[in-house]
Structure 1
Amino acid sequence: MRLPDAVESLLRGWHWPLLALVVLVVLLLLGRLIGNRLGMKRWGLPEALLAGGLGLLLAPAGLLPLVPQPVIDLWNQLPLPLLTLVFASLLLGKPLPKLGGLWRPLSGQVLMALTLAFGQFLVGGLAVLLVLQPLLGTSPVMALLIEVAYEGGHGSAAAMGPTYERLGLEGGQALGLAMATVGLLASTVVGGLVVVLARARGWLSFGAAIPLQEAMEIVVEQTPPLEAIPADQPLEEGTLELPAWWRQGADWAVNMALAGIAVAIGCGLLAALRWGADRSGGVFAMVIDALPVFPLALVGSLLVRLALEKSGQERWVSTPIQSQTGTLAADLLITAATACLDLRLLAADWLPLTVLALAGLLWNLAVVLLLAPRILPADWFERAILEFGQATGVAASGLLLLRMADPDDRSEAVTAFSIKQLLLQPLLAGGVITVVAPLVVVGWGLPAWTSLCLVLVLLWIALGLVLAQQANTD
């Protein structure tokens, strides 16, 4: 779309980033407004996905091309910095868990999650090696799409897309986002059918399952709103009382500064690693050169939180603000990445996407139905269906399925799941292993990576069975 010369002149330079930001925020607001009217949250679907769909309609290749190409080019650069901010705020607002005594009660949950994730790498590798490469000659990096999209979701798929493209997978970001959308829908639809099956087979530990509509209403009612930022607490005598808006602004400024420190630590760690890699060379240099900053921003988040707790200054961190920061950054990321999708590429690659989507879904179902009863505690189905929802779609999908199976919240599934997420988030679903995997595939070859994943999956399963047997004999 060609803009008038006067408008083109006005928007040169820094005006383009401003326009890109304004349009992106407006799209997100519209998506939230329409999504709220449609009740998307009740289905566990992010409203940002709808906002991105609106952006796709307004993109230069859309039905109503109102957004100019320079704006799209700027949106294409947003996923990595936005995901870095998400990871920087991830651990800041959460008290660090005391790890002593946690492993035994969480062992089955952790090992099942590891089996799901590495199994997605495994079935992706087998699908590419046995089907897609012989028939279509696809890139070996395509084998990683299941884990980054199902486990990681839209945010991880958008952030890792450029890395996949540099390593030979054309349109890696668009393919990952499409896979993530399929997983999001399948987690609710297929998961709901699994809950119905569980009711018929007597797998539920705490009574009969409830209908999907009622479960959605329970999720909406029981999901607590973000806490209001405290602005009206009484002050000590003699203290100057500031206006509420000033105190809220100060809270936001402090928390943004803490998140900025976490990002700065991540950047510093990455710079140090690259300095060392330049002097060592070899495979290490190749790995570090392709390493993005967001896993190291998570390390920065952990270090800042640890320093605050050790010094007794954690009061400076606001859990609601850090939660809102991560949520807003993730929503903007999904909106921007979805609006930049190349639909022609997706139409051309529908066959490999279908093969991988089915392979990942069948693996997740097999783990839930065959492995979970053997390694999880007595309320195994409630724990397993929550893992299925998260490992196929998003955590909200898992919560929705859990409410269908356990509407009175009598199982220990949510507590175990939350601690497990905190332990494994730095590694999987966009963490270090997700980042390193494509580098290993390119460096070692897909057969070697798939063989390694097979060994690890067998190891996690064996450990889970052994620990479950020990727990039953105690």
Structure 2
Amino acid sequence: MTLWDVLTDVGFISLLLLIGAFLRAKIKFIQMLFLPASLIAGVLGLILGPSGLSIIPFSDNLPVYSAVLIAIIWASLPFTSKLESFTRIIKNAKNMWAFSQVLTILQWAAGMLFALLILNSFWNGLPNGFGLMFAAGFFGGHGTAAALADGFGTNWPEAHSLGMTSATIGIITAIVGGIIITKFETQRGKTSFITSFKELPNELRTGLIEKNDRKPFGYNTVSAMSIDPLIYHSGLLILIAMIGYYLSELANAIFPQITVPVFSLAFILGYIIVLILKALKADSYFDKQIFERTSGASTDLLVAFGVASINISVVSSYAVPLSLLLLFGIAFCLFLYFYLAPKFFHQYTVEKSLFCWGWGTGTVAMGMALLRIVDPELKSKALDEYGLAYIPIGFMDIITIALLPTLIISGHHWFFTFTALAIGILILVVTKLLGWWGKAPTNIQPTERKIGS
């Protein structure tokens, strides 16, 4: 693989991203589904690339981009997340944390149980970690799918295609399912801020922002006469990812029996760099928004490359059990939305539950898109609560994703399954005893009057 291969791969995927953005802006059907340009680009790449019609000459290293990009994305997290005290998290966002943590941990447990107890009864030889594909693709998205595949490496090379397929189905489930749920809730009169899809701002449909509504990309913290602010920020993230790669190679050479993922080391290094910058009082010379845009661009590329790199022959060989696993996953997420979420969210129930549906089946971006539909001005404070709640959730996710491949490869799949199940049940029991969930307290104020009512 040469640098020209990288240029042509990125060039073709960039062309598909632009086509995806154009199609989103012009085709009503795509606007109705709120499909992101990155997903459209990935599907086009899958159809036109080596696994499809072989029109686009992608290189053989297409799956490698996902592993590299996820390292950059995780390196950016310490620069885009605000550290909060656990006391403040519990006070301001305890219900969002409890429900979100239960959602993530029980997705891992439920997928593993369904695969080990049911699918394995009909299909001999399924990998021990097959049930992970539900959570990895749904609440985890393409990033987690790439991270897990990187962790399994050559021990389970099919994990990449299976995970990317699951994540793609997850995004479609998030969008299509979210729109169906939204229409259902508006017809029932359960939404707090809208009564009809006709009230949605046009930018949510087309993806194009009108001139008067545009916001700045970020703030220049260094002079372009010295170094361009974009390379100043993105270069730091790429440097951290590179160091993470070398440390991973070193650790794997010293301890060949385990796999140390690059993304987890990049995440740890990112926090170390953040602490060093704070100690030197140099953190003010970096802009959070530019880091977010670098991470967002990497995520778009990851989704596009991830979908385009799916090996159709691998997916077809697991087609039936994978379809059953994902159908079970959709049913499980519907159960969480309709039964469990209302017990945690007593005010703005639909808005907060729908946001959790979006990120619990697709990505946080999907959750935000659905939230903007039912709560255009973000008055429910769902994002604020999730931003606080994600701090402990994020650390739990990082530990889980980093350890999962090693646990599965070493034959501890049942241990992980029952541990995850026990943690999920324990959180439910403790939060129930603390009175965090159940029937709505009598002092909860009614939701805001609906528009047009």
With the length of structure 2 as denominator, give the TM-score of the two structures: 0.84
1:62 is matched with: 52
CA contact (8 A) 2:189 2:195 kept: no
Q: Give the AA of the match of 1:72.
A: S
Q: Give the AA of the match of 1:16.
A: D
Give the drift of 1:202.
5.4
Per-residue CA deviations over 1:40-96 (Å, capped at 9, x if unaligned) read 5774433122222232233234224341xxx43222221111111111122314543
CA contact (8 A) 1:261 1:300 kept: no
* Residue 176 (structure 2) pairs with residue 189 (structure 1): yes
After superposing the two structures, state which structure 1 stretch, 309-318 or 77-86, moved more: 309-318
Q: Distance in 2 between matches of 1:254 and 1:207?
A: 41
2:447 is matched with: none
CA contact (8 A) 1:174 1:342 kept: yes
Map 1:344-359 → 2, pairs under 5 A: 344-359=313-328
Give the drift of 1:214.
3.8
What secondary structure is seen at the aligned counterpart in 1 of 2:396?
coil
CA contact (8 A) 1:127 1:355 kept: no
Give the drift of 1:132.
1.2
2:144 is matched with: 156
CA contact (8 A) 1:93 1:318 kept: no
* Residue 127 (structure 2) pairs with residue 139 (structure 1): yes
Map 1:306-317 → 2, pairs under 5 A: 306-317=275-286
Q: 2:229 aligns with which of 225, 242, 251?
A: 251
Q: Distance in 1 between matches of 2:317 and 2:261?
A: 29
Map 1:404-423 → 2, pairs under 5 A: 404-423=373-392
After superposing the two structures, state which structure 1 stretch, 217-226 or 414-423, moved more: 217-226
2:270 is matched with: 301
Map 1:211-360 → 2, pairs under 5 A: 211=197, 214-215=199-200, 217=202, 219=204, 225=214, 227-230=216-219, 246=225, 249-263=227-241, 266-267=244-245, 270=248, 278=255, 286=257, 289-360=258-329
Q: Give the AA of the match of 1:254.
A: Y
Instruction: Report % sequence identity.
Output: 22
Give the drift of 1:446.
2.9
Q: Distance in 1 between matches of 2:119 and 2:315?
A: 16
Q: Distance in 2 between matches of 1:183 and 1:17?
A: 28
Q: Distance in 1 between matches of 2:208 and 2:15?
A: 28
Change (3 A) 1:447 1:404: same
Give the drift of 1:141.
1.0
2:364 is matched with: 395
Q: Distance in 1 between matches of 2:266 and 2:153?
A: 23
Q: Give the AA of the match of 1:217.
A: N
What secondary structure is seen at the aligned counterpart in 1 of 2:228?
helix
Q: 1:167 aligns with which of 133, 148, 155?
A: 155
Per-residue CA deviations over 1:335-388 (Å, capped at 9, x if unaligned) read 222222222332332211221112211222212222222233433332221111
Q: 1:91 aligns with which of 75, 78, 84?
A: 78
Change (3 A) 1:43 1:226: farther
Q: Distance in 2 between matches of 1:90 and 1:80?
A: 16
Q: Distance in 2 between matches of 1:307 and 1:225?
A: 34
2:451 is matched with: none
Q: Distance in 1 between matches of 2:3 and 2:242?
A: 24
What secondary structure is seen at the aligned counterpart in 2 of 1:151?
coil
What secondary structure is seen at the aligned counterpart in 1 of 2:112?
helix
Q: Distance in 2 between matches of 1:230 and 1:107?
A: 33
1:369 is matched with: 338
Q: 1:108 aligns with which of 82, 95, 107?
A: 95
* Residue 196 (structure 2) pairs with residue 210 (structure 1): yes
What secondary structure is seen at the aligned counterpart in 2 of 1:186?
helix
After superposing the two structures, state which structure 1 stretch, 397-406 or 463-472, moved more: 463-472
Q: Distance in 1 between matches of 2:411 and 2:158?
A: 23
Give the drift of 1:393.
1.1
* Residue 408 (structure 2) pairs with residue 441 (structure 1): yes
Larger radius of gyration: 1
With the length of structure 1 as denominator, give the TM-score of the two structures: 0.81
What secondary structure is seen at the aligned counterpart in 1 of 2:241?
helix
Change (3 A) 1:368 1:62: closer
Change (3 A) 1:155 1:37: farther
Give the drift of 1:149.
0.5
Give the drift of 1:271.
6.4
* Residue 353 (structure 2) pairs with residue 384 (structure 1): yes
Change (3 A) 1:55 1:195: closer
Q: Distance in 2 between matches of 1:372 and 1:60?
A: 42
2:393 is matched with: 424
Q: Give the AA of the match of 1:195.
A: T
CA contact (8 A) 1:218 1:407 kept: no
**Unaligned stretches of 5+ in structure 1?**
1-11, 236-241, 279-284
* Paired residue total: 435
1:282 is matched with: none
Q: Distance in 1 between matches of 2:149 and 2:214?
A: 33
Q: Give the AA of the match of 2:278.
A: E
CA contact (8 A) 2:12 2:56 kept: no
2:448 is matched with: none
Q: Give the AA of the match of 2:427.
A: W
1:468 is matched with: 435
CA contact (8 A) 2:41 2:304 kept: yes
**Unaligned stretches of 5+ in structure 2?**
444-453
1:5 is matched with: none
Q: Distance in 1 between matches of 2:350 and 2:151?
A: 37
Q: Give the AA of the match of 1:400.
A: A
CA contact (8 A) 1:210 1:407 kept: no
Give the drift of 1:263.
2.8
Q: Distance in 2 between matches of 1:272 and 1:164?
A: 17
Q: 2:11 aligns with which of 9, 22, 28?
A: 22
